Amino acid sequence: MIKPHGADALIPLLVTDTAEHERLVAEATTLPSMLLSSAASANAVMLGGGYFTPLSGYMNVADALSVTQKMHTVDGLFWPVPVLNMTDDVSEIEGASRIALRDPNVDGEPVIAIMDVDAIEELSSQQKDTITEQVYGTLDSSHPGVAAFRAQGSHCVSGPIQVLNLSYFETEFSGTFQSAVEIRADIAARGWEKVVAFQTRNPMHLAHEELCRIAMERLEADGIVIHMLLGKLKAGDIPASVRDACIRKMVDLYFPANTVLVSGYGFDMLYAGPREAVLHAIFRQNMGATHLIVGRDHAGVGDFYGPFDAQDVFDQIPKGALDIEIFGADHTAWSRKLNKVVMMREAPDHEMSDYLTLSGTRLREMLGDGNVPPPELIRPEVAQILMDHYQTGTG
């Protein structure tokens, strides 16, 4: 199986030894505590599950700036996005060498991790602008990732952590959420060697389904992991429970047995386009995938990135920085001429009128009105789940 990034084996920071876990839970009651941002809590989940191997915790300012400007840490580890724990108030933890980190996304704000504090540093406005512009490609506060990053404060609390739980993902998405450790074990149990990963934060329409099928066939892959983001999204995005139901229905009905693993991960979407695409590649390598599908405007939002920026960035990273390979894909759509889904760049004789398409707005209107979209766009069984969601809000 493919090796994890920067290590011979996964380094999950979740404490699984029962006695040690109990000891740390008791210790947490005696420590100064810090309420995390949602983003920092999601980072703890990714560190706990091994997705962020080989990191041992949150980055300091020097590493954050090095990653921002050079895509590697001060020590030379290739990494595309700072992994930070930021806050606007450090009064409760000043001078502390060890602190409890509390989860803002669970009722009662329980402790999610314990941290050895290496440093508490304040990012200057110029440093914060540098990180924002380099990672997100813009300073525009209408960008949801920029807005979320700006809201986290300017104090950077760094150091290694021991993770006590994986937040609400373990309970709310018990049948879908998996750590990188669990996915590796699942892949091994299925006997897969060549494994494709498909990132999604949306329900999968027919074009997405066919893209997965195209990638598997061309790569001669043993299986595909449809890996959905379960964390925080921007307003208006489809809830994770609805996406999960749609994807499982599609897989159950339209894919052969033992070719698809439906799974999810606990991370808040950054909408960082090219930089986030590289991060996606790292944690897909860590979970055991040998290939990642990177499509048109991967991890993008609005018009902030070019349609293929997230593919082009992989030509700019150092050779050998990653072992996982990229399957670059164009927009896929139903061809009226060929009577099937095609990648647009592979149909040079087509005009836009040769494709059957609907805007996202029009599709949502149809679903909300109880009108089933054409089967060339979305499987009817998937459409029914989405209609239930849009009409009743219950999914």
Both 131 and 54 in one domain: the answer is yes
pLDDT at residue 301 in the model: 92
- Asked if residue 366 belongs to a domain, the reply is yes
The rounded average pLDDT for each run of 10 residues, N- to C-terminus, in the chain (395 residues) is: 97 98 98 97 98 98 98 98 97 96 97 98 97 97 95 96 96 94 98 97 91 97 96 78 93 95 95 97 98 94 94 95 96 94 94 89 85 92 92 63
201 & 131 share domain:
no
Task: Report the alpha-carbon distance of residue 7 to residue 169 in Å, rounded.
Answer: 26
Distance CA 30, CA 92 (A): 13
Domain shared by 179 and 284, yes or no: yes
Residues 226 and 371 in one domain: yes
Here the CATH number for the domain that contains residue 314 is 3.40.50.620
* pLDDT at 395 (0 to 100): 42
Asked if residue 181 and residue 141 are part of one domain, the reply reads: no
Q: Tell me if 88 is assigned to some domain.
A: yes
Select which of 98, 190, 201, 364 is catalytic: 201
Q: Per the domain annotation, does 9 fall within a domain?
A: no
Among candidate residues 98, 202, 213, 248, the one labeled active-site is 202
Per-residue pLDDT of 254-295, as tens digits, reads 999 999 999 999 999 999 999 999 999 999 999 999 999 999
Q: How far apart are CA 141 and CA 13, in angstroms?
A: 33
Pick the last residue of a domain from 117, 137, 170. Answer: 170
Q: What is the pTM of this model?
A: 0.94
* 226 occurs within a structural domain: yes
Q: What is the pLDDT of residue 203?
A: 87
**Does residue 22 form part of some domain?**
yes
Q: Which residue type, as a one-letter code, is found at position 351? A: E
Would residue 10 count as lying in a domain? Answer: no
Domain hosting residue 54, numbered range: 18-170
Q: 144 and 209 in one domain?
A: no
Q: Are residues 368 and 329 in the same domain?
A: yes
Per-residue pLDDT at 202:
85
Nearest-CA neighbor of 236 among 342, 368, 103?
368
Domain CATH number, residue 121:
3.10.400.10
Total count of residues recorded for the chain: 395
pLDDT digits (tens, 9 = 90+) for 334-379: 999 999 999 999 999 999 999 998 877 788 888 888 888 999 999 9
202 is catalytic: yes
- Rounded Cα–Cα distance for residues 84 and 74 (Å): 15
Residue 189 and residue 174: Cα distance in Å, rounded? Answer: 20
Q: Please indicate, yes or no, whether residues 196 and 317 belong to a single structural domain of this protein.
A: yes
Residue spans of alpha helices (H) in the chain: 18-28, 38-48, 61-70, 125-136, 144-150, 169-172, 180-190, 206-219, 240-254, 274-286, 309-312, 360-368, 380-392
- What is the predicted pLDDT for the residue at 362? 85
Answer yes or no: do 301 and 326 share one domain: yes
Statement to judge: residues 140 and 196 lie in one domain: no
CA-based angle 280:282:285, to the nearest 5?
105
Q: CA angle, corner 62, sides to 58 and 64, nearest 5?
A: 50
Q: Report if residue 5 sits inside a domain.
A: no
On average, the pLDDT of the chain sits at 95
pLDDT of residue 393: 62
101 and 178 co-located in one domain: no
Q: Which of 127, 147, 170 is the last residue of a domain?
A: 170
One domain, residues 128 and 207: no
In a domain, 251, yes or no: yes
The total domain count for the chain is 2
Q: Where a domain ends, among 134, 155, 170?
A: 170
